[in-house]
Amino acid sequence: MSLLTKKPSFVGGIHPADNKLTRDSEIKDIAPSGTLVIPLSQHIGAPAKPVVEEGDNVKRGQKIGEAQGFVSSPVHASSSGEVTKIGKFRHPSGNEVKGVKIDLDGEDKSVDFKEADPGELSTEEILERIQGAGIVGMGGAAFPTHVKLSPPEEKDIDTLVINGAECEPYLTSDFRLTLEEPEKIIKGTELIADVLEVDKVYFGIEDNKPEAAEEIRSRASGSIEVVELPTKYPQGWEKTLIQALTGREVPVDGLPLDIGVVVQNVATVKAIWDGVRFGVPLTERVVTATGTIRNPGNYRVRIGTRGKELIDQLGGLPEGRTAKLIDGGPMMGDTQPDQSTPVVKSTSGLLALGEEAAVARDSSPCIRCGKCVDVCPANLLPTSIYKSVESGDIEKAEELNTTACCECGSCTYVCPSEIPLVQWIVQGKSEIEKRKE
């Protein structure tokens, strides 16, 4: 019997309007059509190296990019067609990265996927299948999953946390996946609990999604403890989630594995089961298309589908009502310059915001109200960091642990002086990085 318990949350955080307009929208398929642009770098680590050439015909599931080293991940074609370009394309992060353009033939032919019985596989074989399927963290970080599941021997991992929080406003893709595919999520969870040899598994979910919590609770075995957490942003950040669920604190410059914890997002866990059990590589994901987009909802979209293709299939954007397009949610997502960027493995949402999002706000001097300090989940002093970066004192910014910022934007959200704190802090992180190099 699994348990359903309520626990206190983390210190800090905010309560923005959740705007989960698509929570009742069942997942629907978007048919691949036109062209796909598949970046060879959709993960942290070395970009994959192309193993196809222009003019080649490829099928869905065929490897088109080979991982380069352990901290890297292969990339696969998400439908069938002809490779028409290998070159630089804009990634949703804003960087230009090498990618493969495929003109689709409309037949959506697929390679044969090789099924396996996970119970017959060794740990090494399971990790090989996870790596071979190109699975990376789908909650945003895009860290190669096989690496995260291979902690160094000296790290004593005793706890697995499944992240079903989905604390970003507007996004509902993880929620719908949990409601609609709970068995795969549970099987994937049990599989990686075995790989990590942990006894304790928490499934963390915010209390604004009780149906999803109940779905897992009613089906999971006693080894999974489903915990409803207060709805608060950024509950889904690894460090805040771990603090809320286990009471343990990840060190400022440390990782969850330093305190015996591994965290995996629900979409990643489902992809792990598909990859290990059915041999299906990561070539599609659920995306919440929302905001001013006509026919908002949750859609199963092939990796490489460009924003324009997706938006057009959903009926387009209403004339003159969209000022900003974001890959992800409004708090931590990346603003897109246009509709040319593709859905990648970490794209949880495509959000179109109206004119109100484009209103430029003038900032005024800090009134030392301390609100930014109160809400910071990383226990930082956003106002002091901003002042040190603005004055060019990067050494001071480093002393203030600027690099521990998760860029959640909570400080900017509450600042009555409209100071773009997170932008200053991101600049500070980049300056600190440059100094180290």
User: Does 368 engage in binding with ligand SF4 (CB under 6 A)?
Assistant: yes
* C-alpha closest to that of 394 among 431, 355, 369: 431
Q: Are 109 and 81 in contact (CB under 8 A)?
A: no
Quote helix, strand, coil % in the chain, to nearest 5. Answer: 30, 25, 45
User: Does 245 engage in binding with ligand SF4 (CB under 6 A)?
Assistant: no
Q: Please identify which residue in 139, 425, 428, 429 interacts with ligand SF4, judged by CB under 6 A.
A: 425
Q: Are 64 and 52 in contact (CB under 8 A)?
A: yes
- Tokens for 235, please give them: 């509950």
What is the rounded distance in angstroms from the CA atom of residue 372 to the CA atom of residue 293? 32
Q: Nearest approach, Cβ of 160 to ligand SF4 (angstroms)? A: 25
User: Does 331 engage in binding with ligand SF4 (CB under 6 A)?
Assistant: no
- Please say whether the dihedral angle defined by the alpha carbons of residues 412, 416, 418 and 420, taken in this order, is positive or negative: negative
Question: Given the complex with ligand SF4, which of 254 and 416 has the nearer CB atom?
Answer: 416
Q: Nearest approach, Cβ of 397 to ligand SF4 (angstroms)? A: 11
Contacting range for ligand SF4; rule: CB under 6 A; set: 53-61, 134-142, 314-322, 366-374: 366-374
User: Does 332 engage in binding with ligand SF4 (CB under 6 A)?
Assistant: no
User: Does 417 engage in binding with ligand SF4 (CB under 6 A)?
Assistant: yes
Question: Given the complex with ligand SF4, which of 3 and 11 has the nearer CB atom?
Answer: 11
Give the number of residues in contact with ligand SF4, rule: CB under 6 A: 29
Q: Which string of x and - marks every residue 393-412 that binds ligand SF4 (by CB under 6 A)?
A: ------------xxxxxxx-
User: Does 141 engage in binding with ligand SF4 (CB under 6 A)?
Assistant: no
Q: Nearest approach, Cβ of 389 to ligand SF4 (angstroms)? A: 11
Three-state secondary structure call for residue 30: coil
What is the rounded distance in angstroms from the CA atom of residue 301 to the CA atom of residue 341? 14
Q: Please identify which residue in 261, 293, 326, 372 interacts with ligand SF4, judged by CB under 6 A.
A: 372
CA triplet 179, 92, 432: central angle to 5 degrees?
A: 110
Q: Are 35 and 104 in contact (CB under 8 A)?
A: yes
Q: Which long-range contacts (CB under 8 A, 24 or more apart) does 380-384 make?
A: 380/404, 380/405, 382/411, 382/421, 382/422, 382/425, 383/419, 383/421
User: Does 333 engage in binding with ligand SF4 (CB under 6 A)?
Assistant: no
Q: Are 61 and 280 in contact (CB under 8 A)?
A: yes
Q: Nearest approach, Cβ of 232 to ligand SF4 (angstroms)? A: 13
User: Does 382 engage in binding with ligand SF4 (CB under 6 A)?
Assistant: yes
Question: Given the complex with ligand SF4, which of 102 and 411 has the nearer CB atom?
Answer: 411
Question: Given the complex with ligand SF4, which of 21 and 404 has the nearer CB atom?
Answer: 404
Q: Nearest approach, Cβ of 323 to ligand SF4 (angstroms)? A: 23
User: Does 378 engage in binding with ligand SF4 (CB under 6 A)?
Assistant: yes
Q: In what order do the strands lie in the sheet with 159-163?
A: 4-6, 224-229, 200-206, 159-163, 261-265
Q: Please identify which residue in 3, 11, 252, 367 interacts with ligand SF4, judged by CB under 6 A.
A: 367
User: Does 371 engage in binding with ligand SF4 (CB under 6 A)?
Assistant: yes
What is the rounded distance in angstroms from the CA atom of residue 259 to the CA atom of residue 78? 37
User: Does 416 engage in binding with ligand SF4 (CB under 6 A)?
Assistant: yes
Question: Given the complex with ligand SF4, which of 120 and 362 has the nearer CB atom?
Answer: 362
Chain residues binding ligand SF4 by CB under 6 A are 366-372, 375-378, 380, 382-383, 405-411, 414-417, 419, 421-422, 425
